[in-house]
Amino acid sequence: MADIGLVLSGGGARGIAHLGLLQALEEMGIKPKVISGVSAGAVIGAFYGAGYTPKQILNIAKDHSPMSVLAAVMTSGGLFSPEILREVLVEAIPQNGFEFLKTPLLVTVTDIEKCVSLTFSEGPLYDVLVGSAAIPALFDPIPYQGMLLVDGGVLNNFPVDCLSGKCDKIIGSNVNKLLNNEGVQLSKLQVLERCVHLAIAKKVALQAMLCDVLIEPPLFKYNMFEMKYADEIFEIGYQKAIAQKGRLLLLA
């Protein structure tokens, strides 16, 4: 069986679709040898690497997340909040180190001071994960070993290239596929989010070309800041993966 690498993009609540993909892969008997993730994808990769099932991770996310980012910011609650994320990590993954994960994990972050993208695969786990998910303007950067970490998606929201030489085949899960939304009324947050994704679209497209199988679930109607549709998003990710079952099984 080929060594499979799995890449999980950022995307806030839309990252729940990664769990649907993981559920489908488990049912197919496909187990990634290594996971590369950023922001929400990194957090999901850590929980999965620690031995949690996709549905267990879904329940953890639902139990610790408010229905909207506004509630998260106002209450300092939910997995959108660095404080709550750290508490959940300490409880769910008691050993603070990459080396304790059952599946190797690469986490991409942005050092906002040096303006560079960095990938971590060893050392302390919590600060790197929290930093990778720290959305700029909503949450403060995370100090870590002389750096200031923010959301890794700022510079690389689909970190495929860091898997070079670490696996035979790559499955990519990108939950931010840009579509023509002409005629759709966008909120101010959605406009901001769309501008960010437009700015990094070329980088994401180049990374996507490195994947042997690319899964891009149709999630354009779901806000990255809201968890109330988590079950729907999980199912969409699952069905999109099942639709590519033939190609996925060929990798194994």
Instruction: Note if 164 is an active site residue.
Output: no
Q: Residue 107: which H helix or E strand, with range?
A: strand 105-111
Instruction: Note if 140 is an active site residue.
Output: no
**CA atoms 206, 31, 175, 163: torsion sign:** negative
* Of 14, 38, 2, nearest in space to 224 by CA: 14
Query: Which residue of the set 9, 39, 68, 117 is catalytic?
Result: 39
Query: Which residue of the set 9, 36, 117, 151 is catalytic?
Result: 151
Q: What is the DSSP string of 159-197?
A: --GGGTTT-SEEEEE-S------TT----HHHHHHHHHH
Decide: residue 187, CB within 10 A, 0-12 exposed, 13-18 middle, 19+ buried.
exposed
* Of 182, 252, 155, nearest in space to 212 by CA: 252
Q: Residue 119: which H helix or E strand, with range?
A: strand 116-120
Active site residues: 39, 151
